[in-house]
Amino acid sequence: MTYSGARVILATVTPRPGKAKKVIELYQGIIDYAIKHEPGCFEFQLFSEVNVEGVEEIFTIERFKDLETLRAHQAGPALVAFNKAAAEQDLLEKEILIKVVKSVSGFQV
């Protein structure tokens, strides 16, 4: 299924050492909210890896129907709560790197 106006967020999150599990738990609140309240959010997945420097990173792939639904997600209460908790608990090593992209080629099954 292809959506010509669809937008995808690719984010790289670098938790402080030992804080990846807590960051993933906080993301679950965003995922749960999106399932219940964001019908324009078609996908929200988390991935993790330990990079060559030995630092654990978390990556998100988030797919939205269009730019309008993506913007509503960005302003929504779940993301606001995540950002507040991450700051208050000092969970992130550096600022989250966010890229908003659209498909220009390829396929999806």
Domains of the chain: 7-101 (3.30.70.100)
75: helix, coil or strand? helix
Parallel, antiparallel or unpaired: strands 7-13 and 97-101: antiparallel
Ramachandran quadrant class, 83 (left: phi over 0; alpha: psi -120 to 50; beta: rest): alpha
pLDDT in tens, 3-54: 567 899 999 999 999 999 999 999 999 999 999 999 999 999 999 999 898 9
Better-predicted residue by pLDDT, 65 or 103:
65
pLDDT in tens, 47-94: 999 989 899 999 999 999 998 999 999 999 999 999 999 999 999 999
Of 6, 19, 4, the C-alpha closest to 73 is 6
CA-CA distance, 92 to 99, in Å (whole number)? 18
Please tell me the predicted confidence (pLDDT) of residue 3.
53
What average pLDDT is seen over the chain? 92
Residue percentage of the chain with pLDDT more than 70 = 96
pTM of the predicted structure, to 2 decimals: 0.88
Of 69, 74, 60, the C-alpha closest to 5 is 69
